[in-house]
């Protein structure tokens, strides 16, 4: 058997991507993609790819490996992508992109509640399966996908009369109790002998006064996540608010002036809204809803809820992890968006000094402002979202996750644009505190979604995360390769983002990095077409240097003593360094060169800061600076 396996020479020829319309745009592979792998190695690639594209499930005895080995790799991958488990892979990757990957989306075949918690990850995965708009991943508002209702209380949590109830019966009982309160209120007025207006008003007020206890009774039948969903839809809070408003406005009037019709209509409307919301939620009873694949995930009908306008994509876990406290003013949420959607880890290195005094928190501290210049305006997109991302735009106060509250007007003043700024809010994605034209300003979360969709940084971030997901988080990937992958993705995504993503995956599956067993994490295996890898600085930084520095420090100018395009042995025999000559034309020790690079890159004084009079992205500045620090630390230990 073994000899048969090894003698099965693989004549694989990797063909193009999945869609003929974009076939011509496939990046050439950096090694000869027609070179035959051994039979065993081809099988390894197939198994690894099966696992990747079928959500962790590798080859099974039902797979015809002999048939697969005869197919080109692109065709094998396409076959795996047609498998319904591919939807799980995309959802898993989307959750990885959002920073919330889990070990497994399913337990015993059923999806875990976590799989439903990231609405944009689901929308995007579903869209991809239909070759729709994959970039829904960047939408921070949209459809919402509740998990099948799951709450099963333990016996000791329940009173004796409820112990024998099933979970569904308990939910129906709790909902029934709430609805009965409203029905009783209406019945009290519509009875042949109705209550006096004063008593009727008191009955309404009593519901409002005890809304905490009433909600607690209702919530005993639901999980925290389910309560989160109810609250996002305004259940039961909107009903209380409507009653409260009507009662406050009518019951304060003299008895003959009270508009009892308004009161009764308010009760009816509130009751109808509650019934409609719970009827919609009951469609997620596990007996009725247990999706077997991502394609079967269904969104809740938001029109059945009092708050039916677009819901935020942030689910319960993000809601609790990204708390908005009374001191951080949404900065945690801003840092999350910058990190996850823009791959900006907020490591401040040589930011662009705004050349003017900046007031407010940390404003006078340059080192703090180096992050806050982008953090605070990003936080402003969430200025209407209080605890658990609850929408507080209609409230006088904002309630924070630390349970503090404050006047909303005073809170919003933190984001008022300065005079003469030509905009109301100082809210946006800020690339430079100095050159406003480089920035994208907006007002709402919807604007932020659009900014993310349009930002080249977000597409590059997506490709970076995709590469990490497929070849390993610690694997070094050449920047030129990543840029090239991004550029092709951007071109293709302009036509169809789902096909663009699948093609990007296909390209990564055929890289040398992916096809090498145990690749060295410090080594780059793939480069953009035309890149010469010999005698280059380490691939972690070579691309950054080429993009930002080599134009002047490329060894072509005899008057420029530093050449950042080459990587040579250091004259002091300590590691490697860049060619860098002193006034006597002698090579400067590597540590000195690196120290100078670090100080030039991190300087905020424009006279010494590099690159001179040229913008460099903060992400690249960070990466270069951190690499230099690492190299310096290495030299010190040698």
Site residues (vs other proteins, CB under 8 A) = 1-2, 5-6, 38, 40-41, 43-44, 46-48, 51, 56-61, 99-104, 108-109, 321-322, 332, 335-336, 340, 472-474, 517-521
Q: Which is closer to other proteins, CB of 247 or CB of 478?
A: 478
Which residues face 258 on adjacent strands? none
Nearest to 602 by CA among 366, 439, 267: 366
Tell me whether residue 219 is exposed, middle or buried, using C-beta atoms within 10 angstroms of its C-beta: 0 to 12, 13 to 18, 19 or more: middle
Calculate the dihedral angle through the C-alpha atoms of 163, 164, 168, 169, rounding to the nearest 10 degrees.
-100
Q: Which is closer to other proteins, CB of 50 or CB of 598?
A: 50
- The angle, 0 to 180 degrees and rounded to 10, between the axes of the packed helices 224-232 and 260-282 is 130
Closest separation between CB of residue 476 and other proteins, Å?
11
Q: Which is closer to other proteins, CB of 16 or CB of 472?
A: 472
Q: Which is closer to other proteins, CB of 505 or CB of 598?
A: 505
Closest separation between CB of residue 90 and other proteins, Å?
17
611 prior amide bond cis, ω within 30: yes
Question: Could you tell me if 17 and 23 are in contact, meaning their C-beta atoms sit under 8 angstroms apart?
Answer: yes
Residue 201 phi/psi, 5° resolution?
-60, -40
Dig out the tokens for 462 from the structure: 């997506």
Question: Could you tell me if 352 and 433 are in contact, meaning their C-beta atoms sit under 8 angstroms apart?
Answer: yes
Q: Which is closer to other proteins, CB of 474 or CB of 613?
A: 474
Dig out the tokens for 516 from the structure: 């090498």
Closest separation between CB of residue 54 and other proteins, Å?
9
Q: CA 633 to CA 101: how far, in whole Å?
A: 33
Q: Which is closer to other proteins, CB of 305 or CB of 381?
A: 381
Q: Which is closer to other proteins, CB of 102 or CB of 417?
A: 102
Closest separation between CB of residue 527 and other proteins, Å?
21
Q: Which is closer to other proteins, CB of 112 or CB of 595?
A: 112
Closest separation between CB of residue 345 and other proteins, Å?
12
Closest separation between CB of residue 324 and other proteins, Å?
12
Give the DSSP letter of residue 536: P
Q: Which is closer to other proteins, CB of 209 or CB of 290?
A: 290
Q: CA 381 to CA 580: how far, in whole Å?
A: 46
Parallel, antiparallel or unpaired: strands 440-441 and 428-429? antiparallel
Q: Which is closer to other proteins, CB of 55 or CB of 458?
A: 55
Closest separation between CB of residue 472 and other proteins, Å?
7
The helix/strand/coil state of 25 is: helix
Q: CA 76 to CA 382: how far, in whole Å?
A: 44
Closest separation between CB of residue 66 and other proteins, Å?
13
Closest separation between CB of residue 292 and other proteins, Å?
13
Q: Which is closer to other proteins, CB of 35 or CB of 584?
A: 35
Parallel, antiparallel or unpaired: strands 568-569 and 440-441? unpaired
How many CB atoms within 10 Å of residue 486? Answer: 21
Closest separation between CB of residue 96 and other proteins, Å?
8
Dig out the tokens for 264 from the structure: 């009764």
Q: CA 204 to CA 247: how far, in whole Å?
A: 7
Closest separation between CB of residue 417 and other proteins, Å?
28
Question: Could you tell me if 562 and 311 are in contact, meaning their C-beta atoms sit under 8 angstroms apart?
Answer: no
Closest separation between CB of residue 45 and other proteins, Å?
8
Closest separation between CB of residue 93 and other proteins, Å?
13
Residue 295 phi/psi, 5° resolution?
-60, -25
Q: Which is closer to other proteins, CB of 54 or CB of 374?
A: 54
3-state DSSP of 115-169: HHCCHHHHHHHHHHHCCCCHHHHHCCEECCCCCCCCCCCCHHHCCHHHCCCCHHH
The helix/strand/coil state of 101 is: coil
Calculate the dihedral angle through the C-alpha atoms of 483, 489, 492, 495, rounding to the nearest 10 degrees.
-120
Q: Is the backbone of residue 144 left (phi > 0), alpha (psi -120 to 50) or beta?
A: beta
Question: Could you tell me if 151 and 285 are in contact, meaning their C-beta atoms sit under 8 angstroms apart?
Answer: no
Q: Which is closer to other proteins, CB of 174 or CB of 471?
A: 471
């Amino acid at each position: 058997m073994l000899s048969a396996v090894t003698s099965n020479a693989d004549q694989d020829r990797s063909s193009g991507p999945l869609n003929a319309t974009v076939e011509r745009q496939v990046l050439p592979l950096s090694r000869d993609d027609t070179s035959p792998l051994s039979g065993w190695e081809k099988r390894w690639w197939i198994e690894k790819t099966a696992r990747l594209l079928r959500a962790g499930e590798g080859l099974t005895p039902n797979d015809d490996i002999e048939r697969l080995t005869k197919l080109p790799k692109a065709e094998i991958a396409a076959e795996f992508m047609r498998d319904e488990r591919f939807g799980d892979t995309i959802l898993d990757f989307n959750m990885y992109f959002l920073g919330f990957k889990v070990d497994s989306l399913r337990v015993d075949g059923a999806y875990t509640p976590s799989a439903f918690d990231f609405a944009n990850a689901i929308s995007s995965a579903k869209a991809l399966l239909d070759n729709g708009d994959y970039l829904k991943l960047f939408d921070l508002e949209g459809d919402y996908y509740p998990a099948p209702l799951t709450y099963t209380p333990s016996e000791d949590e329940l009173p004796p009369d409820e112990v024998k109830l099933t979970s569904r019966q308990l939910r129906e009982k709790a909902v029934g109790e709430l609805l009965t309160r409203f029905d009783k209120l209406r019945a009290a007025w519509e009875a042949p002998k109705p209550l006096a207006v004063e008593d009727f008003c008191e009955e309404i007020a009593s519901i409002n006064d005890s809304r905490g206890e009433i909600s607690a009774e209702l919530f005993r039948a639901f999980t925290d996540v389910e309560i989160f969903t109810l609250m996002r839809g305004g259940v039961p809070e909107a009903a209380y608010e409507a009653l409260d408003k009507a009662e406050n406005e009518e019951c304060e009037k003299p008895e003959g002036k009270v508009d009892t019709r308004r009161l009764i209509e308010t009760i009816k409307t509130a009751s109808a809204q509650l019934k409609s919301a719970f009827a919609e939620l009951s469609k997620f009873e596990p007996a009725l809803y247990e999706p077997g694949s991502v394609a079967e995930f269904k969104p809740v009908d938001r029109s059945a809820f009092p708050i039916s306008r677009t819901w935020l994509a942030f689910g319960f876990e993000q809601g609790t992890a990204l708390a908005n406290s009374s001191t951080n003013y949404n900065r945690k949420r801003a840092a999350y968006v910058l990190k996850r959607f823009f791959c900006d880890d907020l490591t401040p290195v040589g930011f662009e000094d705004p050349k003017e005094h900046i007031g407010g928190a940390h404003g006078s501290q340059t080192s703090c402002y180096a992050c806050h210049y982008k953090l605070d305006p990003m936080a402003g997109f969430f200025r209407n979202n209080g605890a658990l991302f609850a929408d507080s735009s209609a409230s006088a106060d904002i309630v924070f996750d630390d349970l503090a509250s404050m006047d909303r007007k005073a809170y919003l003043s933190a984001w008022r644009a300065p005079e003469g700024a030509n905009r109301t809010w100082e809210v946006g994605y800020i690339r430079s505190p100095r050159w406003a034209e480089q920035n994208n300003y907006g007002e709402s979360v919807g604007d932020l979604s659009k900014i993310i969709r349009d930002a080249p940084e977000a597409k590059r971030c997506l490709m970076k995360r995709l590469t990490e997901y497929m070849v390993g988080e610690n694997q070094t990937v050449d920047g030129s390769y990543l840029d090239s992958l991004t550029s092709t993705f951007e071109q293709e995504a302009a036509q169809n983002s789902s096909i663009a993503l699948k093609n990007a995956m296909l390209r990564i599956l055929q890289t040398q990095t992916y096809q090498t067993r145990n690749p060295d994490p410090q080594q780059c295996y793939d480069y953009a077409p035309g890149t010469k890898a010999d005698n280059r600085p380490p691939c972690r930084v070579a691309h950054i240097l080429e993009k930002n520095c080599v134009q002047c420090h490329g060894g072509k100018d005899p008057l420029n003593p530093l050449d950042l395009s080459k990587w040579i042995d250091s004259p002091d025999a300590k590691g490697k360094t860049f060619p860098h000559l002193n006034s006597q034309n002698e090579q400067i020790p590597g540590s000195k060169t690196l120290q100078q690079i670090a100080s030039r890159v991190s300087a905020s004084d424009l006279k010494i800061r590099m690159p001179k009079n040229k913008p460099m992205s903060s992400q690249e500045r960070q990466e270069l600076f951190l690499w230099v620090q690492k190299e310096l630390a290495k030299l010190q230990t040698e």
